[in-house]
Amino acid sequence: MASARGAVAGRVPETDEGLQGEDIAAKYDEMQRHIRDNGWLQEKVDDVARAEITSGKVLEVGCGPGYLGLEWIVRVAPTATLVGIDISEAMVRRARANAQEYGVAAQCAFECATVLELPHEDRSFDHVISTSSFHEWADPVAALTEIHRVLRPGGRYCIVDLRRDIDRITLQFMKANIAADMRPGFLSSIRSSYIRSEVVPILRDAGLAGAAVSEAPMGLVIAGRKEMP
């Protein structure tokens, strides 16, 4: 981790097994509700809007309990649809229940799948979004290649994640708003997250050199558009 823009420790990769099991899913769901209820999820929803993702059929990668996609879909065109994938069955069940609570279950589908092998046809989606999972992808080049494959030409993507070089004040603020038993996992995620200079060559290797990579107070935002034929 960084010390107010000082030296940044090397990346420590996390497992790509995600947050599994009912107990972990329940705790993560509670944490994400707290974040949502305090308005801290809004920044990520705004990132998606700034990427011009405001309608259509959208895929959310690593949806967890679903809050980003659900907050997005209640704010956009009523014809929008959302497909969320996660490697955890427990998270998928949480997302389905939360979609019912939001009253948008008819517009949503959630399934267990991995970004490394998306169970969808080429050009299946108008847009792709993701939050807080990029650092867990075992092969980010392969994952981004899959995302590019399922996007229609002209479709946009917005990937938001943590970054390892956030300043100490922001880190302490985020840590203070996480339950004590979830903090070790949060710090592990910080250590495994990328900094901007590490993301640029990943995008280049995935054929997405035209993507924009920007730093937000609490993370990184990768946004771009699939080229037209």
* H-helix or E-strand spanning residue 9: none
Q: Distance between CA atoms of 176 and 138, rounded to whole angstroms? A: 29
Check residue 60 and give its pLDDT.
98
Check residue 17 and give its pLDDT.
65
The CATH number, out of the four listed (3.40.50.150, 3.30.43.10, 3.40.50.410, 3.20.20.60), of the domain defined by the range 22-225: 3.40.50.150
Going by pLDDT thresholds of 50, 70 and 90, the confidence category of residue 20 is confident
Structure tokens at 149: 């494959």
Q: Distance between CA atoms of 141 and 206, rounded to whole angstroms? A: 5
Going by pLDDT thresholds of 50, 70 and 90, the confidence category of residue 3 is very low
Between 12-21, 117-126, 191-200, the lowest mean confidence (pLDDT) is in 12-21
Q: Distance between CA atoms of 68 and 42, rounded to whole angstroms? A: 9
pLDDT at 2 over 50: no
- C-alpha torsion sign, points 218, 51, 60, 91: positive
Q: What is the mean pLDDT of the chain?
A: 93
For 128-158, the pLDDT digits (tens) are 999 999 999 999 999 999 999 999 999 999 9
Going by pLDDT thresholds of 50, 70 and 90, the confidence category of residue 19 is low
Check residue 73 and give its pLDDT.
97
For 101-134, the pLDDT digits (tens) are 999 999 999 999 999 999 999 999 999 999 999 9
For 23-67, the pLDDT digits (tens) are 999 999 999 999 999 999 999 999 999 999 999 999 999 999 999
CA distances (Å), 129 to each of 62, 172, 192, in order? 9, 27, 20
Q: Distance between CA atoms of 185 and 180, rounded to whole angstroms? A: 10
Q: Which residues contact 137 (CB under 8 A, 6 or more apart)?
A: 16, 115, 116, 143
Going by pLDDT thresholds of 50, 70 and 90, the confidence category of residue 198 is very high
Strands 81-86 and 57-61 turn out to be parallel
Check residue 218 and give its pLDDT.
87
The answer to whether 186 touches 164, Cβ cutoff 8 Å, is no
Q: Distance between CA atoms of 150 and 154, rounded to whole angstroms? A: 12
Check residue 16 and give its pLDDT.
65
Q: Which residues contact 106 (CB under 8 A, 6 or more apart)?
A: none
Q: Which residues of 158-178 are buried (b: 16+ CB within 10 A; e: fewer)?
A: bbbbbbbbbeeeebeebeeeb
The answer to whether 130 touches 160, Cβ cutoff 8 Å, is yes
